[in-house]
Chains A and B, each alone.
Chain A
């Protein structure tokens, strides 16, 4: 079945870096755009970034632009989020999500927790 599994979360100090991964299975990964979305503790959902199926275009929320980089390796069926210059306000559960059509989501991963704290 279609499945997305995030990994790479953890505790990091302010100013540090972390790379999240999202392993995809059950569908042709190279044919679909992918999103990252985050949710701070007790808060709502915030879209973070999008990458086209072939990696040719990437879009970011202003809150992470210049600090986060979305990328993908279609040969490994894996999506990435490189997070640099982390701040306390980046503390959240990070979800990857598959595009159904256009930019619409369908499948979500289970999430990985990132905590930025000294």
Chain B
């Protein structure tokens, strides 16, 4: 199975900050990488697929990059509604696997 490792596991930031979350795959996955946002008690929301393509309706403050084994999610100009847990996921091969999550908290 492909292991997905996110860093950091938690992150404190302020409104207006720009933050970057990284995700590393244990083997190459081309660009078959997605990012999700989840708020407490809610279903995950799809943000990015194919490493850098924004899902419909997702604001351009979210951006993704990377290929192979190393990927990043960048969120610019943080707003209160952006504080949540973020997960990466590879869908290059079965079983699909998720990172452990990065909890983004308000400083």
Contact = CB atoms under 8 A, between A and B. Distances in A.
B44 A46 contact: no
B49 A47 contact: no
B55 interface: yes
Instruction: Say whether chain B's binding surface is mostly helix, strand, loop, or mixed.
Output: loop
A59 interface: yes
B43 A45 contact: no
A106 B98 contact: no
Given A44-B100, A45-B87, 15 more contacts: A37-B44, A45-B38, A45-B89, A47-B89, A47-B96, A59-B94, A101-B49, A102-B32, A104-B34, A104-B50, A105-B89, A105-B91, A106-B46, A107-B46, A108-B46
Interface of B: 32, 34, 36, 38, 43-46, 49-50, 55-56, 87, 89, 91, 94-101
